[in-house]
Amino acid sequence: MGLAVAYELSKMGYKPTIYEAADRIGGMAVCFDFCGETVERFYHFHCISDHDFITLLDELKIKESLIWRKTRMGFYLDGNLQNWGNPVALLFASGLSLIAKLRYGAHAFYSTKIKNWKHLENQVATEWIRKWVGREAYDKLWLPLFKYKFYEYSNDLSASWIWARIRRIGKSRYNLMNEKLGYLSGGSQQYLNAINKVLVEADVQLNVNTPVKKIAIDNGIITGVETQSGFEKYDVVCSTIPMPFIPSLIPELDEKTKDRYSQLKNVGVVCVIVATKKEITKNFWVNINDEEMDIPGIVEYSNLREMTTNITYVPFYMPITNDKFCDSDQIFILKVKRYLKKINADLSDEDFIDTKVSRYKYSQPICGPNFLEKLPPHKTEIEGLWVADTSHYYPEDRGISESTKFGKKLAREINEYAKNIS
């Protein structure tokens, strides 16, 4: 989102300055070398409906790097890996009654047809889904996904947020039976290199390894930012870091405003990336319902993006207050090896080439019922200050395209403000 804001402002003739705490730009799309492949720390894919990102790729002259590929989905249910993601797979799935299948399918189809989501805003997602699909389908197909991603927050999610996730994947279908997803050849680094080049050519200053220590205000007006290098004066500041950081960055905020930021919850993720000699499955995504596995699913990324090595992401989502979040990398790696060998009995210890563990504390905002009422406005009461993160394009889920779209919105608002004060 921050890159999108800077990019749009540079197109308008401004020369914004970017402050990045990490050693490189990209946020959750940061890439690294893994077994000879350039991969993201956290997996990314693109849907047909990601219009803003596709438009941006065109502007950056790398649209041809976006490759579309037919993908498959599976479900590891009752000890069996089954086909999933289309009406025929649902009809022939084992472990479910016909009534449960019909109710589940009807709800998925209905969700893709909803256009106005406001009537879902005050409904609890688990109750909404259970009402539609029934107890059997909910317990088998939905409960594990809530349980092993949101834990104690499972019953504090809005139906509108879940609906948006169902609809986004539904829109990636090019017919009733098939879906296609996109990836960038070379991974997200292709995009990061391109936008970095354009920003540098536009004289945008990129400061990496430079966390902002304080956003300074005086009498309700932005004055600048403080870093380890000192104070820099600015008329406008736009923050796109996770909002729970804001109270410590702006200590002058009144307590009521600080509380609004502090009360926004997130879940973290411990993401294990695995390189193997063999495929785990033929699927891109596999949902999991197994009492011995505390994960909602696995993402076999090499079944989307063409790679020379089989690469699989195994995300352990959980609140960072959960004791498991502090477990060692080795504990998570041993779990993953055990889980993958259970899914694919032909997999042996010798088939594992390498592993990498990445952690992020703010991977997913918790968007509860009536979330819009709780969300602080992105244009703050402080003159010249915008504060936004992935929560602000609710009910859409976090993603590069959604962040790009909201970044454009922020840039337009900042431009209007700047014209009025110039």
Asked if the model's pLDDT at residue 280 lies above 90, the reply is yes
- Identify which of 142, 260, 98, 331 has the alpha carbon closest to the alpha carbon of residue 339: 331
Torsion, CA 37, CA 314, CA 24, CA 20, rounded to 10: 170
Judge contact between 60 and 191, C-beta under 8 A: yes
- pLDDT of residue 297 exceeding 90, the answer is yes
Residue 86: predicted pLDDT: 87
Phi and psi at 241, nearest 5°, equal -85, 165
CB 137 within 8 A of CB 347: no
The answer, yes or no, to whether residue 290 has pLDDT greater than 70, is: yes
Q: Would you state the pLDDT for residue 422?
A: 66
State the pLDDT at residue 182.
93
Q: Read off the pTM.
A: 0.92
Write down the domain spans for the chain.
Answer: 87-156, 211-263+370-422, 265-365
Report the distance separating Cα 31 and Cα 11, nearest Å: 26
pLDDT for 97 beyond 70: yes
Closest CA to 374 of 264, 244, 267: 264
Residue listed under structure tokens 């299948």: 101
Q: What is the pLDDT of residues 332-369, one digit of tens each?
A: 999 999 999 999 999 999 999 999 999 999 998 999 99
Mean pLDDT for 30-59 is 91
What are the pLDDT digits (tens) for 106-132? Answer: 998 888 888 888 899 999 999 999 999
Is the pLDDT at 324 greater than 80? The verdict is yes
For residue 271, what are its two tokens?
């993401």
- The whole-number pLDDT of residue 20 equals 95
Residue recorded with tokens 């109270």: 247
pLDDT at 166 exceeding the cut of 90: no
Closest among 271, 238, 154 to 412, alpha carbons compared: 238
DSSP 42: S
Query: What local confidence, expressed as pLDDT, does residue 175 receive?
Result: 64
Identity of residue 78: D
Tell me the fold of 265-365: Polyamine Oxidase; Chain A, domain 2 (3.90.660)
Rounded distance, CA 114 to CA 220, Å?
Answer: 42
pLDDT digits over 213-234, tens only? 999 999 999 999 999 999 999 9
What was the pLDDT predicted at 167? Answer: 82
